[in-house]
Amino acid sequence: MNNELLKSELIHFEGYKTVVYMDTMGNPTVGIGHMDKHLIPGTICSASQIEAFYEQDVADAITTANKFIDMSTLDDCRQRVIVQLAYNMGYRLMQFVEFKIALVNQNWNNAAVQLINSKWYGEIGERGPETCNAIINGKYSWE
């Protein structure tokens, strides 16, 4: 998996903030979408702190993604999409059983439909359509 592309895509979707803010769900957040209830809004974090948060968060997301599906069965773009979903949702990704079945069967259109029909899709804004298109086409529109 192309880790440089993964990071740039996560920055595209999550943003890169050096000051702790409250996200749309009321969670203290900083860096590349790093949430921590112990963060204090308004606190400034250094680039090295943000990188450390990212490294741990992406390692956790990769672990979750590998528990969700055999990543070796997916092309690079779809691997990155699954890691991004795990990064965004955490372990809640495991609840997407029909999505997983569609991925295993390489039924990309149905996989996208499963995401579209989820609560996640309604909460995520522009990320939803871009993610679904990447699942269907095996690439993001900007690739």
Q: What is the pLDDT of residue 137?
A: 97
Whole-prediction pTM value? 0.94
Enter the tokens of residue 74.
């997916």
Beta bridge partners, 19, equal 44
Q: How many residues in total does the chain contain?
A: 143
Q: What is the pLDDT of residue 25?
A: 84
Query: Which residue in 2, 37, 34, 1 sits closest to 19, CA to CA?
Result: 34
Going by C-beta distance under 8 Å and a sequence separation of 6 or more, which residues neighbour residue 17?
29, 30, 31
Enter the tokens of residue 110.
């149905």
| Domains in the chain with CATH codes | 3-137 (1.10.530.40)
Condensed to tens digits (0 to 9), the pLDDT of residues 40-86 reads 999 999 999 999 999 999 999 999 999 999 999 999 999 999 999 99
Condensed to tens digits (0 to 9), the pLDDT of residues 2-33 reads 999 999 999 999 999 999 999 988 999 999 99
pLDDT at 143 over 90: no
